[in-house]
Structure 1
C-alpha cells in the first residue's frame, strides 16, 4: 500500500525524485498509510458506538416519514429579510398563540447547554435552562426545543391554543418536523409524539443574533445552562462521538508531521493540512518552484553539486549562484516587483514561501523570473 500511495503522490506533485517522502505527504495533504488506517479505525470505533445495543450488526433504522401535504420551506430569505418577516409575523399573530423560543450553546470548555422561554401575547410565561452530557450544539438545540414544548403544554388551555416552536438551527428544525437524525434521535422522537397529539404545533426557523427578543433571551439561558453541573452518567451523543473521531483523525496526522517534519519546514511554520492544500490550485510550473523553494530539492547550485550534476548551470543570468531564496535578492528583478523583506529577510522569506505563498507566486509571475531571468537549463 505504501508503494502505491507514493506513486500516486508523485503523480500529484511536480517535485524532483529526490524529494523526501514525508514532505510529499505534507504537500499533497495525504497522510502515510499507517495514519490513514488509524483514522479509519477511529471512525469505525465511532460507528460501532452508534449501533443499537440490542442489535450489534446494524443500527435500528426508522421508516422514512412523508408528510401528507408539502411543508413550507423553513428559510425563504436571507438573514436580514428573514428577521423582518418574523417580526412582521409576530405582530400579526393571534395573542393566544404560544411561542416557544429555544436555543443551544457550547462553552469554550466544551459544555453543551440549552435554554428556552415560552411567550404569549408578548409576555414571558415560562423559561428554563439545563446542561447535557458530552454533546454538540445540534443536540442542545433539540433538547431545548423538547423542554420548551413540554413547558408550553403544561400551560392552562394549551390543548386549544396553537404552539409555535422557534429556533435558529435550521438542521435541528428540519429534524423536529421531519426525519430524525441519528444523533439525539430519542429527543426528536420525544418531541414529535406530543406535537402530533397536540395537532397545533408548528416549527419555525428564525435567524440567530438578529435582535429578536425571544431568541436573544433563549440564547442567554442556553449560556447559563452551560454553567450547570453535568448530568450524572450522561452518555455521549452520536454527534459528539463523530466530532471527536474527526478531531482525533486530524490529530493523528498532525502529531505524525510534528514528529517527522524536516528542519527546513519547521522554520516555515507549516502544519499538516486538514483538507486539500490550497497550493495544489496553483499552475504546475509555479507549484514546482514553490515546493522546490520549500524543500531545497530543485534547480539550485548546492543541489546540483551535492548529486554531481556536472552539466547543470549553477548560476543565474545575474551571475549569482542559484538558491531557494535567490528570487528575493536577484538584481535583475525590477524594483517595482520586489518584495519588502521586513521585519527581517529570513522571517519575510519564510512567510512568503510558507503560509503567505501568494507573495511568492505574485513575485515569480510578475517578474517572469523562472521564464526569463533564471530559467531551468
Structure 2
C-alpha cells in the first residue's frame, strides 16, 4: 500500500469517526443549544453525508420561513469550512395533520431558487424509505413490493422452473427425493443445516478475544486478556448458568442457544486473533519480496521442475529453503524443511504436527520453521537473499496475502520474521516460489521425506491445537457420514428399485454421469430408478392406456430390450473390449465402463426409443 501525505487510507474505520467529528459543529447549530433562538425548534439528523432539517409548528408558512433560515445558517457554515451542498438534491415535503389536508402546499425559497414541495400523491425518498405527506407508507409498500416482484421474476427467468432437483436432473416427477439427492450429489437439507451449524460454531473461534460472544461460550475455555482502557470488557451473561447434577435431574434448562452451538465445536480448537487490517502491508505488496505461484509461468509440472533446476544452478551465495507437509493414512501430520546455501545442504529438520491438523497446516508450520532456520543461516553467512520453495500453492498464497485463518499463528509469525529480515538491510530480498512436487526436485524430495518422518511422531506429552481447516473438514465429513448412514438404513428397509440397483454410497463429488448428454442421462436415471416407460411403473401408477407388453408378448421390463431378438446382433457392444466378458446388469448402471457400453448399445440399436419394437 502506498504512503499518503493527506487523508487516511481507503477502508479505514477511522474515516466515519473523523467525519462525524468534523461535522459535529454543523449539528450543534440547531436544537436547544442553538445560539439563534429561531433555530432552537429545528432539528438536524443525518446519515454519513445525507442530512435532513425538520421543524414543527401550527403553520406551514412559518415552517418554510424557519427552514429557510436554518438552511442559510447551514450553507454559511459549509462555505466557511470548504464544503458545498448539492442544489439538485434539495427536496421539501410537508406533513400536515390528517384532518387538515390543504389543497396546496407552500414552497420555499433557498438562495433565490424556489424549491417546490412534494405533491400529495407523490413521495420523497430518504435512506431507502418513501415518505408521503400523509405518512401512510402505502406508496412505500407498493414500491418495495414491486422491486421484490421484479427481483423474483428475474430469478424465475434464470432458472425457468419451480420443481428444483427434478429440473436439475432429467427425471420423472415421481422419482423419490432420496434418489434425487444422491444423483444430483446434493446434501439433503437437514444434513446441510447440521453442517451450517457446525461451521457457525467453528466461526466462534475466529472472533477477537474481546468479542462479547466469547464470554458466553465456556466450552472454549477462553480467558480474554484485560481490555485496554479505551475498550469495554465483555460482560457476563445476564443470568447464572446452573450446570450442576441437581439441575440436570430437575430438567431445568441451563444452556443457551449460543452455548449449545459452541459445544458442537472441538474444545481444543485453535484461536484466531484479529485479521490483517486493510492498511497493513502484506508481503505480496512489499517491493523486495517476489512471489511466484503455480501456473504463473504457463508451464506444466515437468517444465516447471526443469526450469527450477536451471534457476537454482545459477544461484550463488543465496540461501534456499525447501519446505513440505505430509499426512499419513492414520491422519497424523508432519512438517519437514531443508536449508541449502550455495548448492550445499546446511541443515535439515522435521516436526510432528499432530493428528488434528491438515496438510495445509503442516505446510504453514514447515514454512515458518524453514524461514527461521534460513534467516539464522543468512545472518551468520552475511547472505542477502533467501529463497523459499514449497509445493503447496495455497499456503504460499495465504502467507503472501496474510488472509489465512487456519494456522494463523504460524503465518503471522512468518510475516513478522520476514519483515524483520527485510528491515535489517536495504539489499535483503525474499523470494517465495512454488515448486512442483514429486518431480525429482532434490530439495523438495528431501523435505517431503522429512515431513513423512515427522508424521510418524507421537502426541504423548504434547498439546496440539485443532486447526480450523481440520475442524471444517470434519464438519463436512460428519454431514456426509450422517447422509450415508441414513441412506444405508433406508436401503435396508426399502423395496425401491433405485436402492436395489444403485449400490454406491452417496458422495458430494459429481461423477462422470453428469457430463453425459441430457437425453443419455435421462435414460440412465430411468434405468436406475425404474421410473420410466416400463410395465411395472405403469401398473404402479395405474396408467391404463399405457402399453405394458412388447411385440414379442413379454412384459416391457427395464432390461428387456437387451435380449430382444431384433437387437441380438448388437449385444457384442455390451462386452468388455479387453476380456470379452459381458457386463452384468449391475455394472451397466453403476460403473463408467458399463455405462459407456450401455449407451453405445442404445445409440447403435435404437433401443428404448420406440413405443413398440418392430423388426428391422
1:164 aligns with 2:387: yes
- State how far apart, in whole Å, the 1-side matches of 2:560 and 2:439 are: 53
* 1:316 aligned to which of 532, 542, 550: 550
TM-score, normalising length from structure 1?
0.86
- State how far apart, in whole Å, the 2-side matches of 1:329 and 1:85 are: 58
1:107 aligns with 2:337: no
Taking structure 1 as reference, are residues 162 and 326 closer, same or farther at Cα in structure 2, changes over 3 Å only?
same
Contact 1:103–1:116 at 8 Å: present in 2 too?
A: yes
Q: What's 2:469 paired with?
A: 239
Stretch deviating more after TM superposition (19-28 or 332-341): 332-341
User: Deviation at 1:359?
Assistant: 2.8
Q: What's 1:8 paired with?
A: 164
Q: What's 1:23 paired with?
A: 179
- State how far apart, in whole Å, the 1-side matches of 2:411 and 2:601 are: 56
* 1:212 aligned to which of 416, 438, 441: 441
- State how far apart, in whole Å, the 2-side matches of 1:68 and 1:214 are: 26
Deviations along 1:285-311, one digit per CA (max 9) or x if unpaired, are 433332222222322223333444332
Contact 1:129–1:225 at 8 Å: present in 2 too?
A: yes
Contact 1:339–1:363 at 8 Å: present in 2 too?
A: yes
1:117 aligns with 2:338: yes
1:48 aligns with 2:204: yes
1:222 aligns with 2:451: yes
1:352 aligns with 2:575: no
* 1:131 aligned to which of 322, 346, 352: 352
Taking structure 1 as reference, are residues 347 and 42 closer, same or farther at Cα in structure 2, changes over 3 Å only?
farther
- State how far apart, in whole Å, the 2-side matches of 1:50 and 1:266 are: 45
1:191-206 equivalent positions in 2, closer than 5 A: 191-199=414-422, 200=428, 201-206=430-435
- State how far apart, in whole Å, the 2-side matches of 1:300 and 1:256 are: 29
Taking structure 1 as reference, are residues 109 and 279 closer, same or farther at Cα in structure 2, changes over 3 Å only?
same
Stretch deviating more after TM superposition (10-19 or 310-319): 10-19
User: Deviation at 1:109?
Assistant: 0.7
1:361 aligns with 2:599: yes
Contact 1:294–1:353 at 8 Å: present in 2 too?
A: yes
- State how far apart, in whole Å, the 1-side matches of 2:181 and 2:315 are: 59
Structure 1 residue runs without a partner (length 5+): none
Which has more radius of gyration?
A: 2
- State how far apart, in whole Å, the 1-side matches of 2:365 and 2:344 are: 23
Taking structure 1 as reference, are residues 56 and 116 closer, same or farther at Cα in structure 2, changes over 3 Å only?
farther
Taking structure 1 as reference, are residues 13 and 71 closer, same or farther at Cα in structure 2, changes over 3 Å only?
same
- State how far apart, in whole Å, the 2-side matches of 1:373 and 1:312 are: 10
Structure 2 residue runs without a partner (length 5+): 1-160, 215-272, 423-427
Contact 1:29–1:276 at 8 Å: present in 2 too?
A: yes
- State how far apart, in whole Å, the 2-side matches of 1:222 and 1:318 are: 67
Larger relative contact order (Cα-Cα within 8 Å, sequence gap ≥ 6): 1
1:292 aligns with 2:521: no
- State how far apart, in whole Å, the 2-side matches of 1:328 and 1:269 are: 21
- Coordinate RMSD, CA, aligned: 3.0
Contact 2:291–2:400 at 8 Å: present in 1 too?
A: no
1:301 aligns with 2:530: no
Q: What's 1:149 paired with?
A: 371
Report the 3-state secondary structure (helix = DSSP H, G, I; strand = E; otherwise coil) of the residue aligned with 1:132.
strand
Deviations along 1:100-129, one digit per CA (max 9) or x if unpaired, are 111111111111100111112322221111
Taking structure 1 as reference, are residues 195 and 68 closer, same or farther at Cα in structure 2, changes over 3 Å only?
closer
- State how far apart, in whole Å, the 2-side matches of 1:188 and 1:374 are: 68
Q: What's 2:560 paired with?
A: 326
Aligned residue pairs, count: 370
- State how far apart, in whole Å, the 2-side matches of 1:324 and 1:109 are: 44
Taking structure 1 as reference, are residues 282 and 316 closer, same or farther at Cα in structure 2, changes over 3 Å only?
farther
Report the 3-state secondary structure (helix = DSSP H, G, I; strand = E; otherwise coil) of the residue aligned with 2:345.
strand
Taking structure 1 as reference, are residues 158 and 259 closer, same or farther at Cα in structure 2, changes over 3 Å only?
farther
User: Deviation at 1:31?
Assistant: 3.7
- State how far apart, in whole Å, the 1-side matches of 2:445 and 2:331 are: 21
TM-score, normalising length from structure 2?
0.55
Contact 1:180–1:189 at 8 Å: present in 2 too?
A: no
User: Deviation at 1:236?
Assistant: 0.9
Contact 2:562–2:568 at 8 Å: present in 1 too?
A: no
User: Deviation at 1:56?
Assistant: 5.2
User: Deviation at 1:71?
Assistant: 4.2
Stretch deviating more after TM superposition (132-141 or 7-16): 7-16
1:249 aligns with 2:463: no
